[in-house]
Chain A
Amino acid sequence: MMNKKTDVLVIGAGLSGMMAAARAAQSGKKVTLLTKGMGTLSLTSGCIDLWGYEVDNPKQPCGSPFAQIQKVVEQNPSHPYAKVYDVLKESLTFFQGICDKDGLTYRDNGGENWLLPTAVGTLRPTYLAPTSMAVKDLNKVKQIVVAGFDELKDFYPEVLVTNLKKSKLLRPDCELTVAHLKSGWKKLYATSLAHRLEQPEGQREVIRQLKPLIKPGAIVLFPPALGERRDIDVAGLISKGLGCPVYEVTNLPPALPGQRLQDLFLKYLKNQGVTVILSSTVTGAQVAGNRCSHVTAEGAGKTFTISAQTYILATGSFVGGGFDSKPGQIEETIFGLPINTGDGKWASGEFLSLKGHPFNRFGIDVNDRLQPVDGQSKVILENVLVTGANLAGSEFSIEKCGNGVALASGFKAGKLAGEVSR
């Protein structure tokens, strides 16, 4: 059996895993990132949410997310932000630096959350958005043109317009216009549309059809499919052709903004000398005392072991595949770490409510150094660090904190792993 050695082994290629790998590599460590799939970034908006609503008034979108997070940290020491608040701002700067270097700029809104339109016409609070999604001054816009494609299944301009019209944020006289573009293709998927729009003739076709509808002071909203490649600024090119700003909105997966971020990070990691092993699964861990000595993995028909000084568990929750469940039983699939299931109730009676669901809070309890701990706060495995959705105590879907927790915990785990002496 082949044996690989590395300083830091990161398991999982979601946002927290890639941040951890990036930060550990910066410390000069030999880093290996192993992943089963392509992470869950392509299922996300591609923006970075830190915290969405006021802690004391959970229907009210908050201005600065930091003030709210500070409150959370003070009130709830078991929230993952309480473990990583010390590095939150640093991790954001680190993240923005990586993205900037690639040319995919992530913008903040002067310290306040953005409120950005979605495909169903809601406005979602988020902290950082790629330029192609960062709609500026929505409250001053005189016309919003929503561009759909008849052949594209999962984007309906009428749905967006019907609901966005109700927003009090818009000028009362803001005109909402539905544009049905024809691609001439029989079927369109987000990715095929993205490829088509990377071509000059694709852009020309869209501009030709949209131009007659554009009035002064307009913006155009597109499905999140303005190109897959990051070296062609599709939004910018269409914007130039139309003479007005052009944006992508958040939509169902597959959405390209999340995928672009994934591609960017993987490229960055490779450039930093990180060994990336794709399509491989960790099948077991060898533990001696309270340390992991190596893990066994399978990929491309081969079984191999990897030994590292530090293991970073960034396998995600249920969606990511880090946790598995049977009736009445939940397990962390690699180390068998205990999962905090609160009072044992798994789900709420109402599917959609401000309460969210207990299963989203399920996760591994950690100390301030992100080491897994048991019910008596005793470290279970001292060279295993836990990040992102593997952490217990947050409801990402309601609190809108998943990306922030992933960034900061990944960053912190990478930093801590970098400090381990050889």
Chain B
Amino acid sequence: MATEKVQVVVVGGGATGTGILRDLAMRGISALLVEQGDLAHGTSSRFHGLLHSGGRYAVKDQEAAKECLEENMILRRIASDCVEPTGGLFAALPEDDPAYAEKWVKACAESGIKTEELNIKELLKKYPVLSPRITKAYSTPDAAVDGFRLLWSNVNSARRYGAKMVTYHKLSAVYRANGAITGVELTNTLNGEITSVECQMVINAAGAWAGEVAAMAGLEIHMIKDKGTLLAFNHRLTNQVVNRLRPPGDADIFVPHGTITLLGTTSIAVEDPNSTKPSEIEVENMLNIGRETMPNIDNYRIIRAFAGVRPLYQANKGAGGRAVTRNFALIDHEQKDGLKGLVSIVGGKFTTYRLMAEKTVDLAAKKLGNNTPCRTAEEPLTQPVTSEMLERGKKVFGVPGYKKAAERLGDAYGKVVEKAEQDPSMRRMFCECELVSASEIDYVAKDGDSKTLSDIRRKTRMGMGTCQGIFCSYRTLGALGNNPQFTVGHREFITEFLQNRWRGIRPVLWGQQLRETQLSTGIFCSLFGMERMNDE
């Protein structure tokens, strides 16, 4: 059994956990982040990717609105390559209470959120997809954010400051002695190996799993697990985030991301934090509401449905769903339960993850006797790719692939471009939807964090496009044919890859989607016989 030693173990590789890891590392506190799956395994990759302006919360909770706005502006600065400053708009329909709109305008002004009333005629001309029934519309500083990349940028930045991160490790025990945390035991979920880590402090940032982590230390945290389902449309329906101007409800946010648009969300209480299966009824209900804002929504193809579990926290049991606060809570278990060295950070929103990390690390640093101030709001997460490097990328990957790769790879772009410059076969595009080159796949496969073929898929976005992954799943196997780590388990990879996609496709299986699904069965079963592969 291997043993390690750090000051702090952070549990949970979501936005909050990676934000904490970076903050700790920048303050010179040695830390290890532990994630049970791949990074962003939980809710941080299963939301609408909206960087709130605060408008959504202005009427109900001005403090939360102000926090959102401030963090929104900080992230635009420090993570410019993860944020698309689309701007947003709030639109009211005749059935929406006009009094709410008035309250909203006032509350936004009081919270410092800049809004501007829009000319409806011009707006409809700009976005014919919007309902002609819109009565009022305002612009806001909302934005779209790539959660997955933001997380990796946090981890990469933290690593430059000496932090450590392991994926596919589950917390299997918390050691305590004399009322204080002394360490943790980790189990590698891929091979079952056990590691023990000595530490002075554990920070529980496990999101929807926070209750399970607390239970391991013998304590109780009551998390409310609230499932939200989203739909991905194969079109950029508008260039701005579209919110409904009424009290927050289901299916009232459209967020453009690159060439697609996400519509969300629902709110359903669940028991298990792993309940991420979207249901057909949720899809139907969302389309019914979405149709109010965009009447011709059915003319646009849905590429998948997916769901995430919001980790909501209510100190006192009782409320549920949208009535529960979206604010975060920092729990000092030394004070609350008399256990020294355990801190939990629960609730909150993706938009304010950095602030949550700052507050958490302020507390942790104080306990550890470290007075270094937080600098995460000032220092950029990544260095922007230079225009010289972009030019070189353009030569090997062509337009528009070179830009997409730069957006995905950030700091690693240079290495991927260099490899393709040296070896022309590395310039081949393996995924035509997402424009992923052989060089990028090769780099990611060897980055040390990619344990499974699915990890490579998530990092490169291979097979996340509209082709249902028929070609790129096979090409991924091909691209890694000479890498011994990935030459086993082809059937398992393809099966898992297709099953993951299937979860999203099945609730929206009609029209073109059904047509392509039938083609997929023809290719994988009829042509390749993969349903019986290795059965003989």
Contact = CB atoms under 8 A, between A and B. Distances in A.
A86 interface: no
Sort chain A's interface into a size bin.
35 or more
Contacts of A420: none
Interface in B446-484: 470-471, 474-475, 477-479, 481-482
A162 B494 CA distance: 14
Interface in A299-356: 317-319, 321, 324-329, 346-347, 349-354, 356
Contacts of A45: 526-527
B521 A357 contact: yes
Contacts of B521: 356-357, 360, 397
B128 interface: no
A324 B519 CA distance: 14
A395 to B, nearest CB: 9
Contacts of B474: 119-120, 154, 156, 159, 252
B529 A118 contact: yes
Given A162-B487, A319-B518, A327-B510, A352 B530 contact: yes
A180 to B, nearest CB: 9
Contacts of B161: none
Contacts of A329: 510
Contact of B531 (A151, A319, A352): A352
Contact of A59 (B428, B495, B528, B535): B535
Contact of B519 (A319, A346, A349): A319
B215 interface: no
B62 interface: no
Interface in B183-226: none
A397 B525 contact: yes
B528 A162 contact: no
A44 interface: yes
A45 B528 CA distance: 9
A153 B428 CA distance: 8
A168 interface: yes
A166 interface: yes
Given A326-B511, A347-B509, A124 B481 contact: no
Nearest to A168: B536
A397 B526 contact: yes
A250 interface: yes
Interface in A87-125: 118-120, 122-124
A352 B490 contact: no
Contacts of B531: 352-354, 356, 397-398
Contacts of B284: 327
A45 B526 CA distance: 9
A410 interface: no
Contacts of A400: 526
A251 interface: yes
B482 A124 contact: no
Contacts of B47: none
Contacts, number: 150
B360 to A, nearest CB: 40
Given A162-B481, A397-B526, A59 B532 contact: yes
A118 B490 CA distance: 14
A325 B510 CA distance: 5
A397 B522 contact: yes
B533 A163 contact: yes
Interface in A357-381: 357, 359-360
A150 B533 CA distance: 26
A360 B482 contact: no
Interface string A33-65: 000000000011100010011000001010000
A351 B502 contact: yes
B526 A156 contact: no
B325 interface: no
Interface string A156-196: 11110011001111000000000000000001000000000
A222 interface: no
Contacts of B517: 347, 357, 359
A125 to B, nearest CB: 8
Contacts of A156: 474-475, 477-479, 481
A130 interface: no
A388 interface: no
Contacts of B520: 351
A317 B518 contact: yes
Contacts of B477: 120, 156, 159
Contacts of A354: 531-532
A23 to B, nearest CB: 25
Contacts of A59: 532, 535-536
B525 A398 contact: yes
Contact of A122 (B470, B523, B533): B533
B499 A352 contact: yes
B515 interface: yes
A347 to B, nearest CB: 6
A158 to B, nearest CB: 3
By Cβ-Cβ distance, the 5 closest A-B pairs, closest first, are: A158-B481, A156-B478, A397-B525, A351-B502, A397-B521
Given A61-B536, A398-B531, 19 more contacts: A43-B519, A43-B523, A52-B529, A59-B532, A119-B474, A120-B490, A122-B529, A151-B428, A159-B478, A252-B471, A252-B527, A318-B515, A319-B515, A325-B511, A350-B499, A353-B531, A359-B514, A359-B517, A397-B526
Interface of A: 43-45, 49, 52-53, 59, 61, 118-120, 122-124, 150-151, 153-159, 162-163, 166-169, 187, 250-253, 317-319, 321, 324-329, 346-347, 349-354, 356-357, 359-360, 396-398, 400, 402
Interface of B: 284, 425, 428, 430, 470-471, 474-475, 477-479, 481-482, 487-488, 490, 494-495, 498-499, 501-502, 506, 509-511, 514-515, 517-536
